[in-house]
Every structure is written in structure tokens, then in C-alpha cells.
Amino acid sequence: MRRFLIPAAVFLTSLILYLATLAPTVVTIFDDSLELQLAVPTLAIIHPTGYPLYELLAWLTTRLVPLGDAAYRVNLFSALAAAAAVTLFYLTARRLAAGQIPALAAAFLLAASPVWWSQATIAEVYAFQGAITLFILYAFLRWGEENDLTQRRKGAESHEETWLTLGALGVGMGLAHHRLTLLLLPGLLVYALWIDKSLFITPRRWGKPLLAMALPLATYALLPLRAHVGSLDGSYQEIGFWGWIAGGGYGAAFIFDNPFGIDRSLSDLLTIARDQFGWLGVAVMLLSLPWWFRHSRRATLLALIALADLAFASVYKVQDIQVFLIPLFLVMALWIALGLDAVWRAARGWWQATGRRWSMAAAAVLAGLMWVWPAGLAYARWEAMDRSQPPIRAWGVHDYGLDMLASAAPDGRAVGLLGEMTLIRYFQFDRDMGPGVETVPADDEGQRLEAIAQSVAEGRATYATRPLTGLPERFSLSAWGALIRVWPAGQSQPPAPAHPLDEEPMLGVKLVGWDAMLREPRSGPSLRALLWWRVDAVPVDFKVSARLIRPDGSLIAQQDAIPVYNAYPSPLWRPGETVLDAYNFALAAPPDPQTTLLVILYNPLDGSEYGRWQTSLAPALSP
């Protein structure tokens, strides 16, 4: 039992770190995390290549863990996978002959490295990929050890076949999860040839490993079984099973000719790698060089994995290239473990060479110094890595999604970017809210405009999520909660204002009503100020500066924008129509009822003021 205590402690310590900084719900819109948080609990098909093994295990987590919402439980799977990976890292470092103390220090250094930590606290596939990578490494290292034991001691009990089978199982798991696994294969093949050339000419030894490798690949059956659900963007039905597992739109063209990609030099990639552990980490890595010469087979395996990953990253032009460098980071952390081990052994040798016994006190001091390093980095990085705080970071996206869904009519249709529509669909699933609200994803502006036009022509209550080229020229617009309501041109019908007015802050532009609503979602209090404008002729171009002023005259918050969430420029207003405008203010605390709402209309070209209007919020905020 004692041999399991330290790995269990590594797992629990890492897990506590990740749970303390875990995203409590949805926290992103335009990346894969949000897709996973909806696809996993509904068993929809994830973007190519499908990630079926990840999806099944994460889905199981959402079913077994009775905590938080669905998004939190998918996030939790990343934390569990990352903690398991850190534990496997410790075991792998020990197999590479690193001492217990150096292996522990390096494991916690990996746990607190920025890219790795970031993937442990949100729904993503890379923590699980890291765990698989380390499982493969550990199994193949054990296989090499067992083979050496068999060669040295004929007739000795050997578990060589077991570890080879487990290594093949790990490769199958990797191939059923992420194509980064392919970057391990050159190093594994060279290592296997070096260990036992006869393996490749003895087909009778292939049976169990091939079967073990094939078993995880069976999880790809999830895709045709869930074809009736499809992918969130609807493209699975177009591409089909084989196109999907082959990578869909993530093929060679995406790798080499991605129009949104970023060209990075080798120096850029090495800088990202250095930032994971700092210059001290680089220096400690260099201390592992003597180990390379004593263990050439293992050193070659690690070097080939690192080089293959670096070569791939140098041609892959995606913006988030850092997550694709995780195999390199894992190898670097292993080299750091071996460098720390060299320090540990040298200190012990020096201590004994001076005629002293290697005392518990000396060992404790050196161990403490090694552990202070990752602890200090974790402390320094905590605020930047903590997805659970502050409230706006932890709950802002969550509250925006609820606000969008609550803003739509029960039978309305929202048209927006795929991420925005996925956020609305997530709350339709998780909260069972607005089941009649239809979502239409369209990332292309032309397609989005036509989808809105078709919806308006059908007489549906239609909403856009953001400004859109061509929209105000064809339609009348109103702010509608967090959304933009789209009306036939000149036919807007906003609700009557709670506080009617008949003010003319600038010539030709009347303010016919206003209201203010205090909102207190999880992300913190906010105030939405509503303004009803009416014009009898096309007004000049103006912007609005809406400000909240304390009773003592100091500024609380300010919003400067084109009316209707920057979507409806005043020169495009139709004479005689009423335009409902809105401004949202994030607040540190609920405002005093005597707070003043100040509205300034000004020329966007030179900032000159056209006119202003102000009022106390008391009529709107008083009970």
C-alpha cells in the first residue's frame, strides 16, 4: 500500500489546485470549450475528428457527478484528467531514474505551468491527451525494463508482454482521441526497434497488442450511432463518417494555408516553451545531459517526441499553438526532473565527501528548496490562472447567455455566430429555458443577413446578436434586452416607455421616454438604461455618451456607442419611427437611487456636443 500513497498524494494535491481554480460554468464563447460543454452532455458529435473516447468519459462524468451545471461537470473532467496526468508524470519520471524528491518537484512544476494549468480548469481535450501521452510513455518504459530484465536473467519472471500490450492500448486510446498521438509514433518505433528488433519479424507476438490498440478505436462507433443528433454546426451530415474522422476541414489546407493563422518562427515557439518553466527550468534541463549519455535509448525516445512536436508546431498556423506544444512541455518537465535529480545526487555526494552523513535535515532543506520553486510559481500565477474569480470572469459569459435567451420572444428566432447560438442552446438544454426559441448559426456575414431577411419575411420575431453590415439599410432596429430586434423597415413597434418624455436634446431628435433596470446576476450588479428616440426627419450622424453620475458629481460608469448596440447609425433612421436604445453598465455595487443618468449626443468626427439630457434614477429604482 505504501507505494500508492505518494502517487495518491500527487493526484489529490493537483486536483485540489485545479478544483480551486476551476471554471464554475461556461466561460468562453468563441472556442471549442463551449462546444464541448453542450456536445458532451447531449452526446452530439464533436468537431472533427470526433474525440469519441473523450466524449464518452466526459459524458459519464456529467452523469455521475451531482455538482454544478453541465458545463461545470465537463470542466471537472479536465481537472480529473490533468491530475491523473500529473500523477502519471511522477511515475514516468521515477521510471526514468529520477529520485522521489526531484520527481515530485518536477511534477508540481508541470502542474503549475501556465498552459497546462489553463487546460485543467476548462472543458478542453488537451489535459486528457496529456494523460494518454504519459500513460503510453510509462507503459513503453516499463516494457523496455522488462525486456532488459529478461535479457539479463534468463528464466526470470517477465511482464514484458503485459506492458507492451498496455502501451499499444495507450496508442489506441490516443488515436481514438487526438491526432497529436501520431507525433509519438516515430519515437516509439525507434525505441521499440532498439529494445527488441525481433518484435517486428515475429507476427505471433502482435496479436494481443493489436487487439488492445483496436479496442479504443471501437469508440468511433459513437459517431454513426449519434448521426441523428449530428454536430452542433450541422456539418456532420455533409461530411459523413469517414470525412469526419479523417479531419474534415482540418486537413493539409488548414495546417499550411489557414487564412487566420499566425506564422511563428522557431524562436517564437521556443519562447513559448521557455515561459512554461522560466530560465531556471532551462538551466536545470541542461543538467540532465549526463543522463542522456547513460540512457541513450530513453533519451532518444524523449528527444524524438520533442522534435516531432516542435516540427509540427512550426508549420501549424493556428492561434492557440501553445496547446499543441504540450508533448514538448511534458518532455521538458521530465528533463527538469532528471536535472533536479542530478542536483540531488551531487548534493548528497558532496555532503558525504566532506565526511558527513547525509542527514534528514540536509535532505529536508534541499527538498524544501526544490518544492519552493513550483509553489512560488503557483502563487505568482494564481490570479491569472484562476477561472473561478473574479465574478465577471467566472460568470460573465453565463449571465450573457441567460440574458440573450430571456430577451427573445418565446417563438422568436435568433441569428448570430455559431458560438453565440451554442451559448443560447446550452441554456435551453441545461435550464430548460425558451424551448421555442430557434437559433440560426451563421458565421458568414452574407449568410447571416439573408437568414435574418428570410425570418423577417416569414413574420417571425427576429433577433441579431451584433451589428451587421447591410442590416440597418434594410431593416429598422431596436435594442431588445441583450439582443437587437429586427423589424421591417419603418415598422418598429417597441413597447411604451415606463417614463414618457417630450424632450429635444438636439435639433430634430426627440427623447420620448426612458427607463432603467437594475440587474443582479452572478457576475455582479449592472444597470440597463433604456432610451426611446423619435425623429421626424433623418438626423445628422451622432453618437451617444451615456453616463452614471454619483450624487457628489463623480463618474460611476460610462458607455459611448452608436445607438442600438452600435448597430443602428442615426443617418439610417426612418422618419417618424421610434428607436429603442439601450446601454449596459457593469457596477461594483447597486447605485444610489439619487444617481444621475446623463446622456450626451455628440459628433463622432470631432467630439463636439450637440446636446444633453439628464435625470435622477430614483423614479426607476425606487420600490
Nearest residue to 366 via CA among 383, 391, 402, 341: 341
For the whole model, what pTM was predicted? 0.93
Residue range 344-358, pLDDT digits in tens: 898 888 777 776 776
Q: Given this model, what pLDDT does residue 382 score?
A: 96
Q: How far apart are CA 436 and CA 414, in angstroms?
A: 11
Give the number of other Cβ atoms within 10 Å of residue 366's Cβ. Answer: 19
Q: How far apart are CA 472 and CA 328, in angstroms?
A: 50
Q: How far apart are CA 140 and CA 160, in angstroms?
A: 10
Three cell numbers written together for 543: 453618437
Q: Is 117 exposed, middle or buried (0-12, 13-18, 19+ CB in 10 A)?
A: buried
Of all residues in the chain, the percent with pLDDT exceeding 90 is 83
Q: Is 356 exposed, middle or buried (0-12, 13-18, 19+ CB in 10 A)?
A: exposed
Do residues 598 and 547 touch, judged by C-beta distance below 8 A?
yes
Q: Given this model, what pLDDT does residue 155 score?
A: 53
Q: Given this model, what pLDDT does residue 153 score?
A: 65
Per-chain mean pLDDT for the chain: 93
Residue 225 phi, psi (nearest 5):
-65, -30
pLDDT band at 2 (very low <50, low <70, confident <90, very high): low
Any residues with CB less than 8 A from the CB of 52 and at least 6 apart, and which? 176, 219, 220, 221, 222, 223
Q: Given this model, what pLDDT does residue 257 score?
A: 61
Rg (CA), the chain: 30
Q: Given this model, what pLDDT does residue 152 score?
A: 64
Residue with cell 542527514: 359
Three cell numbers written together for 610: 450637440
CATH numbers and ranges of domains, the chain = 2-130+217-385 (no CATH), 390-493 (no CATH), 505-623 (2.60.40.10)
| First and final C-alpha spacing in the chain | 64
Do residues 556 and 550 touch, judged by C-beta distance below 8 A?
yes
Q: Given this model, what pLDDT does residue 355 score?
A: 65
Instruction: Give the residue-averaged pLDDT of 423-427.
Output: 97
pLDDT band at 280 (very low <50, low <70, confident <90, very high): very high
Planar angle of CA 177, 324, 395, nearest 5 degrees: 85
Say whether pLDDT at 249 is over 70: no
Residue range 311-325, pLDDT digits in tens: 999 998 888 899 999
Residue 63 phi, psi (nearest 5):
-85, -30
Residue 278 backbone class (left: φ over 0; alpha: ψ -120 to 50; beta: rest): left
Give the number of other Cβ atoms within 10 Å of residue 618's Cβ. Answer: 13
Q: What is the DSSP letter of 536?
A: S
Say whether pLDDT at 585 is over 60: yes
Planar angle of CA 293, 299, 300, nearest 5 degrees: 110
Q: Which of 36-45, 196-205, 265-274 has the lowest mean pLDDT?
A: 196-205
Handedness of CA 58, 62, 68, 69 (dihedral sign): positive
Residue with cell 456575414: 445
Residue range 358-390, pLDDT digits in tens: 677 777 888 888 999 999 999 999 999 999 988
H helix or E strand, kind and range, residue 293: helix 289-294
Residue 523 phi, psi (nearest 5):
-80, -5
Instruction: Give the residue-averaged pLDDT of 423-428.
Output: 97
Residue 274 phi, psi (nearest 5):
-60, -35
Say whether pLDDT at 521 is over 70: yes
As beta bridge partners, residue 558 has 547
Q: How far apart are CA 108 and CA 85, in angstroms?
A: 11
Any residues with CB less than 8 A from the CB of 56 and at least 6 apart, and which? 219, 222
